[in-house]
Amino acid sequence: MNSSRNIKLIIQFDGTDYSGWLYQSGRKTLQGTVMQSIYMLTGNEVEVIGCSRTDKGVHAVGYVLNFIDNSNIPIEKYPIALNSFLPEDICVKSACEVPMDFHATYLTSKKTYRYYFYTAPSKVPMLNNRAWYIGNSCNYSCENLNTLNKNLSALCGKHDFSAFRAMGGMSKTTVRTIYDIYVACDDYYSTKMYCLEITGNGFLYNMVRIIAGTIADIMRGRIQVDSIDKILKSCDRNKAGQTAPAGGLYLWKVDYSSSQH
C-alpha cells in the first residue's frame, strides 16, 4: 500500500490559450489541464492547489502548486514523467516533497510579478501576447527611469491600493504591502523593452496590470510622473491609468517562509 505524500511543483506556462488558472467546467484552464495530466500519469484523481488565480492570458515562470500523491514515482523522476503528459505550453521545472500541512495558496509570504512592455517603430508580431506594444512616442533615458523609479517608491510599504484595483475584486481588504518596485530597460532586437518588477505580500484584482498601465501612461505623457503618490492616496481608480493587457504579465516567483517549504 502506497503512503500519501504532499508534492510541491514549480511550473512555468504560457497562459495565452487558457481561461486562467482556476478550473471552469467546459473551459480550458491551467488547473484542469494539470489535474488531467497527473491523472494520466498516476491513475489517481487529485486536487491541485495553486499559489495564485492567474487570469486569462497571464503567464508564469515560477508558479507553485501542491497536491497529495499516492503513487510510487520517485520524486526526482516526477518532472520528466509529468512533462511527458503535459502540453507544450506547460512545463514542470522542479518537484519536491513538503510537509503535509504545506498549502500553496495560504502560506505564501510574498510574490514577485514582472510586466513587459516595449516601444518600437512598429509592432513586433513575435511579441504578441508576450509583451505590450505601447507605440514609438516615448524613449525613456536612464535619467527618466531614475526619476520614474524614485516616484514609484511611493508605492512601497503598507497602503490602501484601491486606486489600483479593478471592479469585481473579491478581497475583503484593499490594504497590501509592497516590498520593492522598479522599472528597467534593455535593447531587445529593434525594440526598447521595459520591465516592471514588483514584489509584495499579495495583490488586488488586476493591481499589477493597472500599475503597469499607469507607468505606460506616464511614459507617454498622459499622466505626470510626480502624481503617483497622489493617485495612491486618492483611492480613486479613475485617477490611475488603463489596465494593461494580460499578455505582458508574468508571475515570476513565489516565496514561502523557511518553515513552510
> Can you tell me the distance from the alpha carbon of 155 to that of 7, in angstroms, rounded to the nearest whole number?
35
Annotation says 236 is catalytic? no
> Can you tell me the distance from the alpha carbon of 225 to that of 80, in angstroms, rounded to the nearest whole number?
47
Angstrom distances, CA of residue 63 to CA of 36, 77, 103, 139, 223? 18, 19, 13, 32, 33
Angstrom distances, CA of residue 189 to CA of 29, 144, 229? 33, 22, 34
For helices 142-152 and 207-219, what crossing angle results, to 10°? 140
Q: Which helix (H) or strand (E) holds 184?
A: strand 175-188
* Active-site residue identified among 55, 217, 229, 255: 55
> Can you tell me the distance from the alpha carbon of 254 to that of 252, in angstroms, rounded to the nearest whole number?
7
Specify the 3-state DSSP secondary structure of 91: strand
Catalytic positions, please?
A: 55
